[in-house]
Amino acid sequence: MSFLFYQVMLLKPLVVENISIAFQSIRGNLLRSVLTIMIIAVGISALVGILTAIDSIKSAITADFTRLGANTFSLQSRGMRIQIGNQRYRSKNYSYISYFQAKDFRDQFHFPATVSISVLATNLATVKYESKKSNPNVIVRGVDENYLQTAGYDLDKGRNISIQEAYDGANVALIGAEMVPKIFPKDTEPLGKLLSIGSGKYTIIGILKSKGSGFGETGDRLVFLPFANARQYFGRPNMNFKISVHPNSPQLMDAATGEAEGVFRNIRKLNISDDSDFIVEKSDNLVNILLDNIKYVTMAATIIGIITLLGAAIGLMNILLVTVAERTREIGIRKAIGANSATIRQQFLIESIVIGQMGGALGIVLGILAGNGISFFIGSAFIVPWDWIIGGVTLCLLVSFASGVIPAVKAAKLDPIEALRYE
């Protein structure tokens, strides 16, 4: 044990000396060293940058769909049609869900969950306040008192629609944050003011917190009315209601979806042999589809980065081989004064590793900045990809070690007499 400790203590100053020699060599061949470091930095920055950007995109997608209502599922009559690559995801279309069916479900669904019913009144409304009016692109939805919870909305000011107002069809409204600067003069308090939507006038009782925009749509350019009021003023044949369910615990999601499907099948008067003529749409279904397809982009980015690193490894090996040829006389002198083959081999390996780690550090910094530049533009949070940082350092270590082995072995095998005769 003491002998091993003695060997380690002898090796330590030798490693420090070789690191010092490596930096001297880098300074002596500055242009060539900088070019080599840049080659490695480009490979690592491409890998870390692309993968950081992908993590940012994943974060943004997850955040956008979380804002739609986390841990929530809905019963709908018409599903989404999505095409990603060669795969087509389509939910079958069925007959509409009537108000009475939605109300019956709410009354009969006895499960530890919050249930809301809602209906799209119009997505082309013009909202007016005195002489100011919005563009004809405001979404108006009829909701009940539970809709804010199931849809992931929070109140910034005021209060929610009450159960009495929801069923009586009171002329009250909740407005999105984007509506305030569009139709109200500066420093005007919107609460208690009267809005005009079509022929109806509504008292503003609450302002929603901003949800921001995602996937080309906004979560703030909207007005919520009591669903009974929406039925009255925006009524049309086959008005299609949506049922949203938010289980009290995420662990109850599967049990709640099964129970909800069974209850609604009874309401729709379906036989045991009949297929369900509605769909159960979980809030995370689409995000899972998107994230599942992004993994192919991640694989492609990883392959591109590794190919770039292979090019960097070949460039580093070539430069080190040239360095061995240029420093043949120096190697001969070092061997003549007592350096053995292992010391020479270690010297060139350490030089290769130092160059590789310098390139890796620069590449990681550039990659994080580039990846988070994408994050900034899509409005996602700043991401420090620790996994890829550790992976980048490890890759650089492997690349520089693999690149330095052949030149180091070649240098170690040089005959000191022949090396001293060189030049």
pLDDT digits (tens, 9 = 90+) for 299-358: 777 787 777 777 777 777 777 777 777 767 777 777 777 777 777 787 778 878 888 888
Domain residues for 41?
2-64+290-421
In a shared domain, residues 236 and 112:
yes
Q: How far apart are CA 373 and CA 48, in angstroms?
A: 13
In a shared domain, residues 222 and 332:
no
Give residue for tokens 């209502």. 69
End-to-end CA distance of the chain: 46
In a shared domain, residues 165 and 84:
yes
In this structure, the strands spanning 200-208 and 172-175 are parallel
Do 233 and 204 contact (CB within 8 A), yes or no?
A: no
Per-residue tokens: 240: 């299609």
In a shared domain, residues 270 and 302:
no
For residue 216, what pLDDT is reported? 45
For residue 379, what pLDDT is reported? 67
For residue 318, what pLDDT is reported? 77
Q: Given 282, 305, 337, which residue is the final one in a domain?
A: 282
Q: Given 225, 249, 282, which residue is the final one in a domain?
A: 282
Residues constituting the chain: 423
DSSP letter, residue 400? H
For residue 70, what pLDDT is reported? 57
Q: How far apart are CA 313 and CA 331, in angstroms?
A: 23
Do 223 and 179 contact (CB within 8 A), yes or no?
A: yes
In a shared domain, residues 118 and 189:
yes
pLDDT digits (tens, 9 = 90+) for 218-272: 568 999 999 999 999 898 888 899 999 988 887 888 899 899 999 999 998 888 8
What DSSP line would sit under 263-313, residue for residue?
HHHHHTT--TTSPPSSEEEETTHHHHHHHHHHHHHHHHHHHHHHHHHHHHH
For residue 10, what pLDDT is reported? 43
- Single-letter amino acid code for the residue at 64: D
Q: How far apart are CA 400 and CA 259, in angstroms?
A: 59
377 Cβ partners below 8 Å, 6+ apart?
none
Per-residue tokens: 4: 């091993």
Do 325 and 418 contact (CB within 8 A), yes or no?
A: no
In a shared domain, residues 228 and 81:
yes
Per-residue tokens: 152: 């992931």
In a shared domain, residues 218 and 80:
yes
**In total, how many domains does the chain have?**
2
CA distances from 285 to 214, 275, 289 (A): 16, 21, 6
In a shared domain, residues 235 and 310:
no
In a shared domain, residues 376 and 276:
no
In a shared domain, residues 86 and 57:
no
In a shared domain, residues 51 and 121:
no
DSSP letter, residue 80? -
Q: How far apart are CA 200 and CA 69, in angstroms?
A: 29
φ, ψ of residue 120 in degrees (nearest 5): -80, 115
Q: Given 253, 282, 311, which residue is the final one in a domain?
A: 282
Angle 114-120-124 from CA coordinates, rounded to 5° = 145
Per-residue tokens: 403: 């690149």
Q: Give the closest residue to 99 by CA, choosing from 114, 115, 119, 116.
A: 119
Q: What is the dihedral of CA 175, 381, 150, 244, to 10 degrees?
A: 110
For residue 213, what pLDDT is reported? 56
Q: How far apart are CA 178 and CA 175, in angstroms?
A: 8
Q: How far apart are CA 56 and CA 48, in angstroms?
A: 12
Q: Which residues of the chain have a pLDDT value below 50?
A: 1-11, 79-84, 88-93, 215-217
DSSP-derived 3-state class of residue 414 = coil
Do 136 and 182 contact (CB within 8 A), yes or no?
A: no
In a shared domain, residues 199 and 334:
no
For residue 396, what pLDDT is reported? 77
Q: What is the largest CA-CA distance in the chain?
A: 104
For residue 140, what pLDDT is reported? 94
- Per DSSP, helices labelled H in 81-189 are 99-108, 147-151, 163-168, 179-183
